[in-house]
Amino acid sequence: MTSDNRPEWWRGGVIYQIYPRSFQDTTGDGIGDLPGITRRLTYVAELGVDAIWLSPFFKSPMADMGYDVSDYLDVDPMFGTLDDFKALVGEAHRLGLKVIIDQVLSHTSDEHAWFEESRSSRDNPKADWYVWADAKPDGTAPNNWMSIFGGPGWEWDGTRKQYYMHNFLASQPDLNFHSKAVQDALLETVRFWLDLGVDGFRLDTVNYYFCDAELRDNPPMQGDDDGAGLDAPDVNPYGFQKHIYDKTRPENIDFLKRFRALLDEYEGRSSVGEVGDGARSLKTVADYTAGNDKLHMCYTFDFLGPNFSPGHIRHCVENFFATVTDGWVCWAFSNHDVDRHVSRFARSEEEREPVARLALSVLATLKGSICLYQGEELGLPQAELAFEDLRDPYGIRFWPSFKGRDGCRTPMPWSNVPPDAGFSTAEKPWLPVPAEHLPLSVFEQAPLPDTVFSHYRATLAFRKEHAALFDGEIQFMDSEDHDILIFTRSKDNETLLFVFNFAETPRTAAMQMAVDHVETLDLPGMTGVLNGATVELGAYDGFCARI
């Protein structure tokens, strides 16, 4: 294995997200761990990705599955030790993989030592490290801000006799980024992991760091105004507000510059920010990635919804690069927070496999970096879980209208043997492995030449063979057929043409150019054929040529 030695390895790179709880258990407790990830890194490297992104493994009471950190500088015992993490980084680097970790800076657990000190009085050294405010004269919360997990965004504390702000669970108090001491402390935790050799950071809820210093009420959402969008399901009253005061505040720019300056002290480091900001997301990404002095790249929720169509993809990509003129994007169809994309995009069980293939072919040829979520290379559908199996507080809160995120977080099926599919030896893993995932396991797919897994490997290898697919320009072309997506990728002396059919039936696409010097390329898993001045495409098919 050889690593990507480009200084900007992240630009056009492929990131593989690992959800540690569900990747591989080595202790028999039913929960995945760091040694398990290390054990499976050869599998990840052979898939053909450039980096891994680890969801949180820090010490935590796990009220929100690790996104409630109680110690930024230690590994939670359920996942292993710091030595286990060091071993993981060493093995990843040996295999040519970069390591990105998930930094949850906007809030901590209420069990963090910082919060325990802050809540102890109004005059202790960390009294202003969190967002505290007095009640209104009638005892109600300071303003109308909502929690994205449902209900008010404020919790009463009897010791300080004040409210503290929380964008998520009440046990996840928000840090006060208006305090330079808070910023300094957080940046020191980032430096700790940089010194241990991590190559980059995924910044959770990066636009949530600052809130309005005056704690002004959010105005109500009006019609199609910019607001929550995909930030919250429509069963959640969070979407009733226009979130202009509780997130995406202008002060965040200066903190991101401080964060980037720290990363720039180390060679070859990178950052990707999660921006959930409704219709304002593109402007926010532009602000956060412009100028080469803040984040390296961001991702939005544009492709994490149900729309999988040529028009939507073209609109999102063109809008991004028109708005974000000197920044960069990381595209993804799935992650740990949304239903798996084959279930969102496919209209029937029979369509899942061809849709999985097409989705990866499209994603891997767009301009931008891409992020894959563990198990999507197997074409895993969303798991349907019983209420008693749920662990996600978000799903438990809004059941049954919103079933939460557990259905995309079930254990990785390494084998076809129930009940744990090679994930664990425990009698019962932390989430059940769905029976329908067993025939899609790595054991079943890896040895065969014509599976979703083999398609991922071949397509990612194809991407690496063409410099135009790292950071080349993209140009879309019109098609009279709304189910056809046509674009070119160009860099230096190479221009590649891609034609994709999103329909469940064969289609014919008219070429938009002379075909005298078209050289058909073998796009893995796709069978489109050039026939004179047209391309003949099967259902969910694609075509590639050098022009």
Pairing of β 484-491 and β 494-501: antiparallel
Peptide bond into 419 cis (omega under 30): yes
Lateral strand order in the sheet of 270-274: 297-299, 270-274, 200-203, 98-103, 51-54, 14-18, 369-373, 330-331
First-residue to last-residue Cα distance in the chain: 31
Which has the closest alpha carbon to 356: 485, 525, 499?
525
Out of 204, 277, 392, 541, which one is annotated catalytic?
204
CA dihedral (498, 501, 506, 511) in degrees, to 10, reads -40
Query: Within 10 Å of residue 296's Cβ, how many Cβ atoms?
Result: 23
Contact 310, 500 (CB under 8 A): yes
Which has the closest alpha carbon to 334: 97, 57, 56, 17?
17
Active site (annotated) includes residue 265: yes
CA dist., res. 159 & res. 67, Å (int): 25
Pairing of β 529-531 and β 534-537: antiparallel
DSSP state of 405: S
Out of 265, 326, 388, 480, which one is annotated catalytic?
265
Contact 421, 415 (CB under 8 A): yes
- Rama region for 400: left / alpha / beta (φ>0; ψ in -120 to 50; rest): alpha
Q: And the tokens for 316?
A: 């999102």
Q: Which residues are catalytic?
A: 204, 265
